[in-house]
Chains A and B, each alone.
Chain A
Amino acid sequence: MKFLKTVSSIALATSLAFTANSVLAKKDETIKVGVLHSLTGTMAISETTLKDTVLMMIEEQNKKGGLLGKKLEAVVVDPASNWPLFAEKTRELISKEKAEVIFGCWTSVSRKSVLPVLEELNGLLFYPVQYEGEESSKNVFYTGASPNQQAIPAVDYLMNELEVKRWVLAGTDYVYPRTTNKILEAYLKSKGVADEDIMINYTPFGHSDWQSIVSDVKKFGKTGKKTAVVSTINGDANVPFYKELANQGISAEDIPVVAFSVGEEELSGIDTKPLVGHLAAWNYFQSVEGKENAAFIKQWKKFTKDPKRVTNDPMEATYIGFQMWVKAVEKAGTTDTDKVEQAMIGITAANLTGGVAVMNKNHHLSKPVLIGEIQDDGQLEVVWETEGLVAGDAWSNFLPGSKDIIADWTKPIKCGNYNRKTKKCSGQEY
């Protein structure tokens, strides 16, 4: 009897192993795409949308017949808005799940957390959010805006079109606003703005009591010179900030606010009537008319089964990144990181707002920059756009430390941190 038990258990084990083997064989026929966006925790509010976008793109690509004759398979993990967990999940995606590419991250701190893992395991990440720049990794493609594709054009607009003379740089206290404001301060001073005409203010995450700050801004703007607020305030804290502005009677005509973190998604959680006329600078707005955009919006509403869902800039950046990756893989004929990385440079993809985006040698995109005004229906309407494409700068020209540094991932430089003066590559410093 005991013998029988052993035999049967062995048989069972072999058959199990066999099925496992065949499952593995089948899985080999797909190309795995890692999706590294927080689905729980603080950042879920923004990042779930991007997870859905990637899933939608994969579904569409599979309908077209997949890639290199194989189907794409999404591997979704949840780093739960926990920065160290981002690194762990990246390791899991690359080593265990064998993901060929990862679409993910939102905050800069999460990106910084996954960088060492990506470089150690030679993975590939597409990062779709506007950020502070001062970085270029061989293993990352930055499809969101760098400061010269968002902040600088916005300041130019205020300076030239609205004749703003006094500046409030308000931001949440973390790396993106601090670096962006440093760049902006240097830029404004280079344009001849005096020290006393610049006011810089930082607030904690989720700050909700804006009474004294808005009251200070109001006083700052009462000297007779046109004043504007350049806001790098992080998503959530914007609602009480704008509410306080409206309540204290500051309209967009008195003191316009231009924001870099407020898009359609954030506005869908606010009653926007008091905000009409305030500005946002992005590379994409849902309201832009065009065939590609209309099709994309339609597809998105169908995919999410929600006719009221809005699209936003990081979604477009994800879309462009995905299209580019598909093209690069087709061009390289493989999903091998090094080959795809080289194939990526020079690849173009259609913008949803018309025209094409180009991937540059520094792993940043050339894209158009749009300035929009908030409307009472929560949409943003374009009031100004750059003439042509603006090439993303990995290293800002307005910071003393990074003036001479460029990133160039083609031969002979092949470096993300190359000093043109000393002709030295400092490697990647984090």
Chain B
Amino acid sequence: MKPFIVNTIILILGCWLSSALAEGTAPTMPSSTSSTSTNVQTAENIAPLLTALTKAKLSKSAKILVQLEQTGGTAMLPLFEQMLNGKLYYQRADAQIIYQVKDSNDTKQYFDIFSKAPLGALDSSLVKKIRVNSKLRTHLKNTIARIQLNHGNDEERLHAVIKLTEKLTQASIDELSAALKTEVNGKVREAIEKAIALYQLQTSEDTPSKLIAIAALSGSLDSKVRNALLKLVEKNSEGKYIEKDRKVRVAVQAELKRIDGRIKIFGFIEKMFFGLSAGSVLLLAAIGLAITFGVMGVFNMAHGEMIMIGAYTTYGVQLLMPNFMEYSLFVAIPAAFLVAGIVGMIIEATVIRHLHGRPLETLLATFGISLILQQAVRSFISATNRPVVTPEWMSGSLEINPIFSLTYNRIYILIFSLIVFFLLLTILKKTALGLHVRAVSQNRAMAKSLGIRTAWVDSMTFALGSGIAGVAGVALSQITNVGPNMGQDYIIGSFMVVVFGGVGNLFGTLVGAFSLGIANKFLEPATGAVLANILVLVFIILFIQRRPKGLFPQKGRAAD
């Protein structure tokens, strides 16, 4: 009923524009009349509020929203939701509230907020956005939670309870208690009971109810519970406990001790994970170099640019398949391997091959190539960074408990780096190419005399190393910038890992990458990121002094 009336009032208020558009809205009205029912009185109160909302300054909007919630109730839900998403607009001519949806062609379509009647693609000069800031967004989220507490589905109700628990007041407790009476879902009931217990802990005056609340909340790792408990053992300015009852204090302290113990354990696990994840990025960046530098002995300063080429390939793939973003990375991985591999092959054939056995000149030449590649990207693509979209399945985090969660992108990259590593290991150990690569790197002359095409093997090895750097670029495009300079950030780290792990030893690279990553992450909280990097570098320099051949030096005649 209400949408119908609201619409009618707006139509009456409206000028020629809206009446022209109303021809489209009229037929849909009857269907919306049956959905909700309210009286004419309410609708008359809402219309001026809506007009006020279109004119309000940001600081005044919250008040109007409160009034809208009181008079409109559940029917205002679409308005609140669209406003929260920043898609709420109004028509300049008659202040009709509408919302915006982008259709598959990326054109902006508008609909009436209540009747959902389509208004077509209005010109941007005819509509104006109803602005929202983060304060209003917080307000809207709470409002929506209050409405959904009684009307949403299981998931929405649970979410609503969690939202309301963030800032508990007597009013919200009353609402939660009322909701508890009719609530059937176990999880939601549990959440409401916790919220009520938390409120009791925060506000109650007598010992028994405090103890009951502590018992009810026992085992919760929620930071709000911890904060409430900490309040109970605070001392005043004279050094005396504010909480008088010793029994409560003992119970609180025992609970706090337990919580802090858990925080410590999970803190350690979290640091380990951060370290492994930092190590996995190092491993991905270094693993290609472990082949070109480690196995072939080529000082390839353009290695970082191979990573960059892989990242730009990801960008290119996403441009080509804008409607299949979720799968773009699976296409990008082989594409980046091929593109970077081919570029590597060209570099090998045109430059590196001719400098064989002259490491210093190779170093300078590849450094030049790296500058050329960077500037080429700047000149032909753009000097600015390119946006690479992170697919939905790689965003967000896996929440294990309130104090410990792992981000999905890091988990996937960690797994991915291990897959790449073991794939490469298999290629080197089990395939004919791998056998030839090892033969050539150990004794070129002997391999040649046994009929191995060394030039071809060199070319393939360099292409393999470059291709893997390209694959690393796909992964790195998900966690950092894609721009002309990105390779520079990884080249030093890569050399560090390969040298530290032991040149020519893939397992050394694996162990080196993870140990450097973990060391860095355990140092960082104590020293800050800048100093942690320096300390790790100093450590490596000292380590190389003691063991010039790294963690796992190659043994036997091949080592010379």
Residues of A within 8 A of B (CB): 40, 42, 44-45, 48, 161-162, 173, 201-204, 206-209, 211-213, 215-216, 222-224, 236, 239-240, 243-244, 246-249, 252-253, 256, 265-266, 268-271, 274, 276-277, 279, 373, 375-376, 381, 383-384
Nearest first, the 10 closest Cβ-Cβ pairs linking A and B are A269-B385, A222-B223, A208-B480, A247-B407, A383-B133, A224-B227, A44-B383, A211-B274, A203-B529, A277-B134
- Give the nearest-CB partner of A265 in chain B: B384
Beyond the given pairs A248-B397, A271-B390, A373-B134, 20 more chain A to chain B contacts, judged by CB atoms under 8 angstroms and listed by A's residue number, are A45-B483, A45-B485, A161-B135, A208-B480, A208-B489, A211-B410, A212-B521, A216-B525, A243-B390, A246-B396, A247-B396, A247-B408, A249-B396, A249-B399, A269-B387, A271-B388, A274-B395, A277-B133, A381-B131, A384-B58
With a cutoff of 8 Å between Cβ atoms, the chain B residues found around residue A206 in the complex are 481, 485, 488-489
Chain A residues within 8 Å of B408, by CB: 247
* Pairs A–B under 8 Å by Cβ, sample size 18: A202-B530, A206-B481, A211-B274, A211-B277, A212-B274, A213-B524, A222-B223, A243-B479, A248-B397, A248-B405, A249-B396, A252-B137, A265-B384, A269-B385, A269-B482, A269-B483, A383-B58, A384-B58
Judge whether A236 and B481 touch: CB under 8 Å: yes
Q: What is the bound-complex CA distance between A13 and B270, given in angstroms?
A: 77
Q: Quick one: which of B513-527 are within 8 Å of A by CB?
A: 521, 524-525
Shortest beta-carbon distance, A79 to chain B, in Å? 15
Whether the pair B385, A209 counts as a contact (CB closer than 8 A) is no
State A211–B86 Cα separation when bound (angstroms): 29
Q: How far is the CB of B334 from chain A (nearest CB, A)?
A: 23
Determine how close the nearest CB of chain B comes to the CB of A7; give it in whole angstroms.
Answer: 47
Contact with A along B515-546 (1 / 0, CB 8 A): 00000010011001110010000000000000
Task: Give every chain B residue within 8 A of A381 (Cβ-Cβ).
Answer: 131
* Bound-complex Cα distance A40 to B374 (A): 9
Tell me whether A277 and B137 are in contact in the complex, defined as CB-CB below 8 angstroms, given that A209-B278, A239-B481 are known contacts: yes
CA distance A44 to B274 in the complex (A): 32
Minimal beta-carbon separation of B412 from chain A (angstroms): 11
A247 vs B86: C-alpha distance when bound (angstroms): 21
- How far in angstroms is the closest Cβ of chain B from A33? 22
Cα(A67)–Cα(B126), bound, Å: 41
Q: Mark B224-249, 1 if CB is under 8 A from A, else 0.
A: 10010000000000000000000000
| Given A224-B227, A240-B481, A243-B390, A375 and B86 contact (CB-CB distance below 8 Å) | yes
Set B375, B521, B533: member contacting A40, Cβ < 8 A:
B375
Cβ contact within 8 Å between A212 and B525: yes
- List residues of chain A with CB within 8 A of the CB of B135: 161-162
**Nearest CB in chain A: distance from B325 CB, A:** 10
Most A Cβ at <10 Å: residue of B281, B388, B407, B521: B407
Residues of B within 8 A of A (CB): 58, 86, 131, 133-135, 137-138, 141, 223-224, 227, 270-271, 274, 277-278, 281, 375, 378, 383-390, 395-397, 399, 405, 407-410, 479-485, 488-489, 521, 524-525, 528-530, 533
Complex CA gap A212/B521 in Å reads 7
The answer on a CB contact under 8 Å between A211 and B387 is no
The winner among A244, A253, A265, A373 for most chain B CB atoms within 10 A is A253
CB proximity of A99 to chain B, nearest CB, Å: 24
- Chain A, Cβ-Cβ closest to B404: A215
CB distance from B536 to the nearest CB of A (A): 12
Q: Please give me the residue from chain A that is nearest to B483 by CB atom.
A: A45
Complex: A386 Cα to B533 Cα, angstroms = 41
Q: Report which of A256, A266, A269, A279 forms a contact with B386, defined as CB distance below 8 A.
A: A269
B385–A249 CB distance below 8 A: no
Nearest chain B CB to A279 CB, angstrom units: 8
A331 to B53, CA, bound (A): 49
Q: Which of A204, A208, A373 contacts B479 (CB 8 A)?
A: A208
Distance A373 CA – B385 CA, assembled complex (angstroms): 21
Flag if B397 contacts A249 (CB, 8 Å). Answer: yes
Give A344 to B138 CA distance when docked, in angstroms.
47
Beyond A40-B375, A201-B528, A222-B223, whether A45 also contacts B384 by CB under 8 A is yes
Q: In the bound complex, how far is the Cα of B387 from the Cα of A269, in angstroms?
A: 4
CB distance from B497 to the nearest CB of A (A): 14
Q: Are B481 and A269 in contact (CB under 8 A)?
A: yes
**A236 contacts B483, CB within 8 Å?**
yes
Q: Which residues of A contact B395 (CB under 8 A)?
A: 246-247, 274
Residues of chain A within 8 A (CB-CB) of B528 are 201-203
Q: Enumerate chain A residues within 8 angstroms of B524, measured Cβ to Cβ.
A: 212-213
- Cβ contacts under 8 Å, A44 to chain B: 378, 383, 484
For the complex formed, measure the closest distance between the CB of A249 and the CB atoms of chain B, giving whole angstroms: 6
Nearest-Cβ distance from residue B389 to partner chain A, whole angstroms = 5
Inter-chain contacts of B481 with A (CB < 8 A): 206, 208, 236, 239-240, 269
- When distances are taken between beta carbons in the complex, the residues of chain B under 8 Å from A384 are 58
List of B residues within 8 angstroms of A162 by Cβ: 134-135
* Residues A215 and B530 in contact in the complex (CB < 8 Å), given A45-B384, A206-B489: no
Which chain B residue lies CB-closest to A172?
Answer: B530
Q: In the complex, are the beta carbons of A256 and B134 less than 8 A apart?
A: yes
CA distance A383 to B135 in the complex (A): 10
Chain B, residue nearest A216 (CB): B525
Q: Are A247 and B409 in contact, with the CB atoms below 8 A? A: yes
| B223, B270, B489: the one within 8 Å of A215 (CB) | B270
Looking at the assembled complex, report how far the CB atom of A180 sits from the nearest CB atom of chain B, in whole angstroms. 17
**A-chain residues with CB within 8 Å of residue B224 when the two chains form the complex:** 224
What's the nearest-Cβ distance from chain A to residue B99, in Å?
14
Contact assessment for A268 and B274 in the assembled complex, using a CB-CB cutoff below 8 Å: no
Instruction: Please tell me which one of the listed residues B131, B141, B270, B529 contacts residue A213 in the complex, with CB atoms under 8 A apart.
Output: B529
Minimum CB–CB distance for A380 against chain B, Å? 12
A211 and B518 alpha carbons, distance in the complex (Å): 12
Q: Which residue on B lies nearest to A247, using beta carbons?
A: B407
**B-chain residues with CB within 8 Å of residue A244 when the two chains form the complex:** 407
User: In the complex, what distance in Å separates the CA atom of A359 from the CA atom of B395?
Assistant: 47
**B residues less than 8 Å from A274 (CB atoms):** 395
Say whether B485 contacts A42, CB under 8 Å.
yes
> How many Å lie between the Cα of A265 and that of B390 in the bound state?
20
Chain A residues positioned under 8 Å from B529 (CB to CB): 201-204, 207, 213
